[in-house]
């Protein structure tokens, strides 16, 4: 169970060590903190995506949600001068509401998650661009929400707050997923929705909740990203970010068939993706190869994992055979002693006697 996470951690360590050996700048304090910040930023919504993937679904709308919630958030703070706690609340509620609508469409109206969230991706992006007439929104020279800005993009003893926040969130969600009743239901529903329903679990509610949590975390991520970039350009803000989240979850051991994955795995998956991006820069690999490197590593990672799993299953099956073997020892010995075809004869004769 922890083997997957351990493997991923070793992969992360080996890649980091090699990169560090080639270019020590990779392991410099500044670079590490920069990576920690990015891991924090990308990890928060990857965790939400992970929950959705465990239900056997997918959420493609995250990046567009960032754009829509982002422009609304900045507008609330600058144009409407809404006090930041309210603006924050509204954005979080917006994320929860969008997640809720998607969850409703998927569970009650039985639409496919891919289609619902793909339409979400298109609609939210369009809405964001229309709302701003495609112009970039940013903070003025005033110090709107400087408190929130300090919380979102500050650091404690040099460690970026985003990273600290991710760790806290991972612990909370780790308890939710691996220790709580809800988490157990989530895995059961992801693996076999019918059996879960036959056991009295409200499977629709369990699945919809995952989308609501994912939407809520998208709201949180919006705020973190807004204060990271300080401006939102509605046509490009958050583009492809949902794919980073899906990649991190899959790399971290989630299966798109549902019912598999862990919080630790998703965090490690996010970290590995950010390390890869960073390594491309640090090692002077042309930046245009960025995605290609990521794609290759994910492909190899998932392939290796599948092969290892198949081998483990074969081993387990063999062990199972060995357990049942003593009962039919005689047959086994006979078959070992003589060629296959001949073995059948003495055995059946023995049965008759």
Partner 1 sequence: MAETLLELSGISKTYPGVRALDDVNLRVCRGEVLGLIGENGAGKSTLMRVLAGVIAPSAGVIRIGGNDHARMTVNKATLAGIAFVHQELNLFENLDVAANVFIGREKLAGGPLKLVDNAEMRARVTPLLERLGADFTPNTLVDNLSIAERQMVEIAKALSIDARVIIMDEPTSSLTISETERLLEVIADLKAHGISVIYISHRLGEIMSCADRVVVLRDGRTVGELTRGELSHAAMIRLMIGRDLKALYTPPAHTPQPGGCDIAGVVTTAFPDRQIDLSVRRGEILGLAGLVGAGRTSLARAVFGVDPLLGGEIRIDNTPVGVASPRDAIRQGIYLVPEDRKKSGLVLELPIRENVTLASLLDHARMWLVNGGSERKIAKEQARRLSIKAPSIDIEAVTLSGGNQQKVVLGKWLSMQPRVMFFDEPTRGIDVGAKSEIYALMRSLADRGVAIVMISSDMEEVIGVSDRVAVMHEGSVSGVLERDQFSEYNVLRLAVGQALETLEIAAP
In the complex, least distance from residue 246 CB atom to partner 1, rounded to whole angstroms = 22
Q: Tell the smallest beta-carbon distance from residue 308 to partner 1 (Å).
A: 17
DSSP summary character for residue 287: G
Q: How far is the CB of 118 from partner 1 (least distance, A)?
A: 22
The crossing angle, in degrees rounded to 10, of helices 290-324 and 263-282 is: 140
Largest CA distance in the chain: 99
Select 200 or 284, whichever has its Cβ closest to partner 1: 200
From the list 308, 250, 297, the residue with the least C-alpha distance to 18 is 297
Minimum distance from residue 262 beta carbon to partner 1 (Å):
15
**Identity of the residue, 175 or 333, whose beta carbon is nearer to partner 1 in the bound complex:** 175
Closer CB to partner 1, 156 or 349, in the complex: 349
Give the nearest distance from C-beta 323 to partner 1 in angstroms. Answer: 8
Which residues, listed in sequence order, are joined to residue 112 by a DSSP beta bridge? Answer: none
Question: Least CB distance from residue 171 to partner 1, whole Å?
Answer: 14
Whichever of 28 and 199 has its CB closer to partner 1, that residue is 199
Parallel, antiparallel, or unpaired: how do β-strands 137-138 and 231-232 relate?
antiparallel
Token pair for residue 118?
């793909």
Kindly state the tokens that stand for 274.
């950010």
Residues that bind partner 1 (CB under 8 A): 175, 179-182, 184-185, 187-188, 191-192, 194-202, 259, 316, 320, 323
Structure tokens at 222: 């919006």
- Please state, in angstroms and rounded to a whole number, the distance separating the CA atoms of residues 120 and 125: 8
- The least CB distance from residue 201 to partner 1, in Å, is 7
Count of other CB atoms within 10 angstroms of residue 291: 13
Nearer to partner 1 among residue 182 and residue 228 (C-beta): 182
Cα–Cα distance for residue pair 311/334, rounded to 1 Å: 29
Nearer to partner 1, 158 or 178 (CB): 178
**Cα separation, 275 vs 19, whole angstroms:** 9
Q: How far is the CB of 237 from partner 1 (least distance, A)?
A: 36
Q: Three-state SS for 150? A: helix
Residue 232 β-bridge partners:
137
Report the alpha-carbon distance of residue 208 to residue 216 in Å, rounded: 12
Nearest to partner 1 of 130, 179 (CB atom): 179
- Residue 201 token pair: 């679990």
CB of 54 to partner 1, least distance (A): 13
CB of 324 to partner 1, least distance (A): 10
Angle at 220 between CA 218 and CA 222, to 5 degrees: 70
Q: How far apart (Å, rounded) are the C-alpha atoms in residues 232 and 193?
A: 40
Q: Give the residue with the Cβ less far from partner 1, 30 or 319.
A: 319
Buried b (16+ CB within 10 A) or exposed e, 213-223: bbbbbbbbbbb
The answer to whether the beta carbons of residues 104 and 47 sit under 8 Å apart is no
When the beta carbons of 235 and 257 are compared against partner 1, the nearer one is 257
**CB nearer partner 1, residue 201 or residue 275:** 201
């Amino acid at each position: 169970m922890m083997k997957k996470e351990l493997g991923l951690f070793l992969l992360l360590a080996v890649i980091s060590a090699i990169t560090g050996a080639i270019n020590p700048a990779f392991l410099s304090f500044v670079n590490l903190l920069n990576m920690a910040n990015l891991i924090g930023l990308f990890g928060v919504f990857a965790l939400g995506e992970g929950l959705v993937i465990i239900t056997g679904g997918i959420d493609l709308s995250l990046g567009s949600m960032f754009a829509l919630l982002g422009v609304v958030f900045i507008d609330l703070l600058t144009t409407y001068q809404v006090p930041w706690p309210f603006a924050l609340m509204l954005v979080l509620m917006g994320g929860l509401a969008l997640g809720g609508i998607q969850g409703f469409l998927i569970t009650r109206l039985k639409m496919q998650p891919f289609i619902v969230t793909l339409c979400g991706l298109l609609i939210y992006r369009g809405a964001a661009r229309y709302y701003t007439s495609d112009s970039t929104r940013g903070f003025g020279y005033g110090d709107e929400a400087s408190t929130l800005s300090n919380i979102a993009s500050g650091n404690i003893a040099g460690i970026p707050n985003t990273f600290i926040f991710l760790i806290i969130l991972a612990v909370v969600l780790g308890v939710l997923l691996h220790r709580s009743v809800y988490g157990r239901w989530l895995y059961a529903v992801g693996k076999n929705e019918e059996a879960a329903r036959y056991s009295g679990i409200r499977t629709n509610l369990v699945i919809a909740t995952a989308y609501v949590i994912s939407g809520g975390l998208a709201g949180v991520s919006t705020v973190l990203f807004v204060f990271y970039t300080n401006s939102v350009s509605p046509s490009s803000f958050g583009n492809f970010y949902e794919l980073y989240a899906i990649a991190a979850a899959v790399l971290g051991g989630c299966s798109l068939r549902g019912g598999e994955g862990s919080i630790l795995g998703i965090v490690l998956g996010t970290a590995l993706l950010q390390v890869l991006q960073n390594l491309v820069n640090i090692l002077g690999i042309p930046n245009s190869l960025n995605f290609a490197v990521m794609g290759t590593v994910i492909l190899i990672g998932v392939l290796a994992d599948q092969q290892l799993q198949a081998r483990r299953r074969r081993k387990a099956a063999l062990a199972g055979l060995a357990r049942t073997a003593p009962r039919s020892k005689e047959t086994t010995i006979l078959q070992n002693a003589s060629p296959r075809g001949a073995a059948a004869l003495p055995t059946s004769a023995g049965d008759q006697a």
